[in-house]
Amino acid sequence: MSRSRFSRRLLRWYDKHGRPDLPWRLAGNPYHTWISEIMLQQTQVSTVIPYFHRFTKRFPDIIALARADLDTVLHLWTGLGYYARARNLHRAAKIMVEKNNGQLPQDFQALQALPGIGRSTAAAIAALAFDQRQVILDGNVKRVLTRYHALDGWPGERAVENQLWSLADAHTPNKRLADYTQAIMDLGATVCRRVRPYCERCPVRTSCKAFAQGNPQDYPSPAPRRSLPVKAVTMVMIRDQRGRVLLQQRPPAGVWGGLWTFPECNDDDVPAWCRDTLGLSVRLDDRWQPLRHSFTHFHLDITPIDAHVLGASGQAMENPDVIWYNPNKPDERGLPVPVKHLLGKLRETYEPNR
């Protein structure tokens, strides 16, 4: 099918069946487009919607986001995962305030130079917010195109990915770029779904090779299998007499960068480690069942240890990266999901004056 026929059919379908009522589309605000595109990386629309509302209510524009504390930004991101996205949004907002009057740049190269914005995301923002002819290739588009062309090979391989960029470019029209970009993303999300695609509703099925072959679900080819490594960590959940819990802020980069977690101890002698590292004398109460948290590249097995401070709890406060956190009156700070879960369990087991 020619470029014009593919895009014409897709746009006709979009005019009838697209999703123009998604919250980030209603205002036609480039800032909303940017926030939503970052949130939608690796995350489904239904999950993103409440986060998007909370985030844009709290930070209505780039200037408000740039002025915010990173802790508040991470707090509003808690549960969405891939926290580097939130840190990059915050950094990018500061750069835009400094260099572009608090506005999203319209220039494609300038967009791509901002933290957290890769080639496809920059193209999506430029097309959706500024109607520029830019080519996107996100997970949804890769799925549509590998099926439509019955393209073999895992899209994570450079050669396959390059072929997909060429095909995506060949199908991108010269007009109605915002609508076309939204249309192909919507087709992938709602019709050409990963499992059980609705081919009978698809506007391009008459020329789709995988549909003709009867095997759309064979595309895209899966990534080569590999088993993820497992890392183990002990988290010491130290409580004081008032039921407050010691949390430590992680370094700004890396896994859970900038978030607050329980102190991680790799020493067999936990009380000695607490004394030497945190300046606290503790009593260990219970070793909880380990729980597993999976990242893209590894599994983390967490063994939580319930502990109580003996004597004064003030000494640890000499360390600026440490706070006593009150789970009953939580303040705004970013917490990884397993830490939030464990804090909830601690709240259930809190016994005053123990």
- Catalytic residue IDs: 37
216 sits near ligand SF4 (criterion: CB under 6 A): yes
299-309 vs 282-287, strand pairing mode: antiparallel
Least distance to ligand SF4, CB of residue 6, Å = 10
Q: Considering the complex, state which of residue 10 and residue 247 has its C-beta at the smaller distance from ligand SF4.
A: 10
64, 97, 199, 233: which one contacts ligand SF4 (CB under 6 A)?
Answer: 199
Stretch that binds ligand SF4, among 1-9, 156-164, 195-203, 289-297 (CB under 6 A): 195-203
3-state secondary structure of 59: coil
Nearer to ligand SF4, 34 or 211 (CB): 211
Q: Which of residues 93-112 bind ligand SF4 (CB under 6 A)?
A: none
Q: Does 191 bind ligand SF4 (CB under 6 A)?
A: yes
Query: Whose Cβ is closer to ligand SF4: residue 211's or residue 262's?
Result: 211
Strands 299-309 and 230-239: parallel
Binding mask 135-154 for ligand SF4 (x = CB under 6 A): ---------x--xx------
- Check if the beta carbon of residue 87 is closer than 8 Å to that of residue 259: no
Contact call for residue 9 and ligand SF4 (CB under 6 A): no
Q: What's the distance, Cα to Cα, between the start and end of the chain in Å? A: 73
Rg of the chain over CA atoms, in angstroms?
A: 24
Q: Which one of 205, 239, 250, 333 is in contact with ligand SF4 (CB under 6 A)?
A: 205
- The sign one gets for the Cα dihedral 155, 158, 164, 165 is positive
Nearest one of 56, 90, 96, 57 to 73, comparing CA atoms? 90
Cβ neighbors of 193 (< 8 A, separation 6 or more) are none
Note whether 286 and 306 are within 8 A (CB): yes
Binding residues (CB under 6 A) for ligand SF4: these are 144, 147-148, 191-192, 197, 199, 202, 204-205, 208, 210-211, 216
